[in-house]
Amino acid sequence: MSQKFSRRMLLKGAGGFTLAIPLLPSLLPRQSWAQTTTPLKRYFSFVGTYDYGHHQHWFPTLAELPFTHDPTDGDQRLRYQTLRSFISPSKTELSRIIGGAFNPYLDKMNVFRALNLHTRIAHGRGHMLGNVAATDGHDSQVVLLKPLPTIDRLLASDRNFNPSGRSPLHFGQNLSYFKNTDGTVSRNSASWESPHAMFARLFNGVTEGGGQQTQTPHPRRDILSRVYEDYRRVSRGRQISAVDKQILENAMSRYSDIQARLAGTTTTMAGCSYSGLDPAGDANSLMNRSRTLGVNPYSFNPESHGFIYDLYAQIYAAAASCDLHRVFSFHTSIQDHFDRHPTEDFHQGHSHQPWTNLTINGTERANHSWMAEVWRLYATEFVAKLAGYLNSYSEANGRTILDNSLVHMTLEASHVHGDFSKPCLFIGGAGGALTTGHFIDYSRRELGPHAQQGDGFSNVATHERFGHCYHGLHYNRSLTTILQAMGLEPNQYEDPAINGFFQARTDGLLGAHNNGVSRVGGYGHIGSETSGVWYLNNSQLYSQEYARANYHFYKNALPLPPTSST
């Protein structure tokens, strides 16, 4: 603020409020009006029910990683290695699930290990995106938790991130995890649509090349910020009277309201493109092939109709380029499509018997290997292709849509019923908000293997069925990382009505390091706060799970390597 502003001038301007607005622009420096284009960010989630069988099918390696990083704030140490370094002539893909289709994007990805839940969830539809209470009722303590809006709902409801206010564009099943901010279930009209029906609904009336919208700060927002900061300095002065201070309080609260309403305008830029989808093309086009399958592609086996997921990936990328939505989700349940057990359903015949051998498609394989094949299909046919299509669109800031956005892949579990090392894959840097290109491991191997490893897996490191699960960081911190990378502030997602059990402790029950945590913050529930059916008693719950974490850092985003890989 210019030194020409005297205390009397500020008080008279603020007190007369209506005179302050026309006065300020002429007095403030002209550069206050400069507009800076900010990256337009989008969030894409792929959420799958069931597990992936064995950690060896998901992670590039199960060995300890060579490089360490200690965050300067005292948060937990991490180990890391560049994803690119795992690829060689003899190893052409990261893992069984994260196959070679991802190789072009390794420098734009992060794979995380040892992100754990601190409560047992038998069957859940909500915890993957933050609503732990959305389960099938197996665990009574979890069901009693407060329902929370999932992160896709939080992003969609934020008018700075999503000015149109449109709900997430969703395809898939099991919508019980989608929650509004009041906890009620929301079902989106796009669900269960065929690709050609979704295309018609999205692009009817849209002109290709008409542009996409990029947010730019409103010029007067900066002016009001300067006034507010000057007010704060004056209000702390020794000579200001109580009356003047009250006048400033009243006036500046109104300035703050105006500032919130001036959050952003939009500038139109070229980039809207969807002709590659060829909706009216020849009989062999993807769109016309999908039309011949009927309304619901889930009635067909994805093994033989993977092109449908390719088509959805193209539609999502085109919708992003035209700024029709900024939050996208794909939620799949695989139970009815891949059951090859002669007598049991998919859950009991495959997922719950990871070490049982079955002959599937003419090949004898263990069930945990079959689970990996299932998820490899979805990862290759949808997630990797979505990344490719997003990476093909250039934006005004010289980056691609993928660079400016975040694609998030996660599943219900790792091992069957496994709440440890939850699957978590990021592609995209959220406009430079995240460092990328690494396999990041938060395992605390010095504490030994986790007591619980998942059905059929051992917690003995030398056992042939060792589950490779260790204590680490809370999975919800990955969701906080997403929210912050997309631009949300803590007051937009933190809920002070939850997690009271974990703060203001003085009894050492959760370890002396957790005494005196005045505010847990963060996003979502830490745990059930009482013993659940997984744990035999409270002492096991506290010592084996809760006391192993440090809740001073629960509110923070995940610590990441210091720089992106090159």
Query: pLDDT per residue over 352-389, tens digit each?
Result: 999 999 998 889 999 999 999 999 999 999 999 999 99
Residue-level pLDDT at 302: 73
Q: What one-character DSSP code corresponds to residue 32?
A: G
Is 80 exceeded by the pLDDT of residue 285?
Answer: no
pTM for this prediction: 0.82
Rounded-to-integer distance, Cα 534 and Cα 355, Å: 22
At 114, the pLDDT band (50, 70, 90 cuts) reads very high
Sheet of strand 438-441, all strands in order from the earlier edge strand to the far edge: 67-69, 78-82, 438-441, 109-113, 425-427, 406-411, 43-48, 327-332, 169-172
- One DSSP character per residue, 275-310 reads GGG-TT--TTSHHHHHHTT-S-GGGS-TTT-THHHH
- Span 112-137, mean pLDDT? 85
Confidence of residue 92 (pLDDT cuts 50, 70, 90): very high
507 within 8 A of 474, measured Cβ to Cβ: no
The answer, yes or no, to whether residue 246 has pLDDT greater than 70, is no
Confidence of residue 247 (pLDDT cuts 50, 70, 90): low
The C-alpha atoms of residue 264 and residue 161 are separated, in whole angstroms, by 10
Number of H helices, E strands in the chain: 15, 15
Q: Sorting pLDDT into bands at 50, 70 and 90, what band is 65?
A: very high
Cα angle 185, 477, 326; round to 5: 50
Instruction: Tell me which of 22-36, 316-330, 439-453 is least confident.
Output: 22-36
At residue 20 the predicted structure's pLDDT band, cuts being 50, 70 and 90, is very low
pLDDT above 60: residue 435: yes
Distance CA 280, CA 26 (A): 56
pLDDT above 80: residue 283 = no
Q: What is the pLDDT of residue 237?
A: 62
Closest CA to 556 of 470, 488, 490, 471: 490
Tell me the per-residue pLDDT of 255-265, one tens digit each, with 9 for 90 and over: 555 455 444 44
| Most confident of the ranges 120-124, 449-453, 497-501 | 497-501
Q: Which of 198, 170, 188 shows the shortest CA–CA distance to 291? A: 198
Q: Does residue 67 surpass a pLDDT of 50?
A: yes
pLDDT band at 192 (very low <50, low <70, confident <90, very high): low
Q: Name, of 1-5, 140-144, 411-415, the range with top average pLDDT.
A: 411-415
Residue 35 vs residue 273, higher pLDDT: 273
Torsion of Cα atoms, 42 then 47 then 52 then 55, to 10° = 40
pLDDT at 405: 97
Helix (H, G, I), strand (E, B) or coil at 440: strand
Question: Residue 233 has what pLDDT?
Answer: 62
User: Would strands 78-82 and 438-441 be described as parallel, antiparallel, or unpaired?
Assistant: antiparallel
The pLDDT, as a whole number, for residue 151 is 94
How high does pLDDT run on average in the chain? 79
Q: How high is the pLDDT of residue 420?
A: 87
Write down the pLDDT at residue 33: 31
From CA 405, how far away is CA 434, in angstroms rounded?
10
pLDDT digits (tens, 9 = 90+) for 126-138: 889 998 888 776 7
Per-residue confidence (pLDDT) for residue 243, from 0 to 100: 59
403 or 21: which carries more pLDDT confidence?
403
Per residue in 141-178, pLDDT tens?
Answer: 777 788 898 999 999 999 999 999 888 888 876 544 44
Average pLDDT (458-486) is 95
Percent of the chain's residues with pLDDT above 70: 71
Tokens of 387: 């990344």
Residue 403 in this model has a pLDDT that exceeds 60: yes
Determine the Cα–Cα distance for residues 476 and 410; give it in Å rounded to an integer: 12
Please report the pLDDT score of residue 300 as a whole number.
Answer: 62
Q: What is the pLDDT of residue 396?
A: 79
274 — pLDDT class (breaks 50, 70, 90): confident
Angle at 548 between CA 543 and CA 554, to 5 degrees: 130
Terminal-to-terminal C-alpha distance of the chain = 41
Q: How would residue 533 be classed by pLDDT, with cut points 50, 70 and 90?
A: very low
- Alpha helices by DSSP H, 236-381: 242-261, 286-291, 307-321, 346, 367-378
Q: How confident is the model at residue 221 (pLDDT cuts 50, 70, 90)?
A: very low
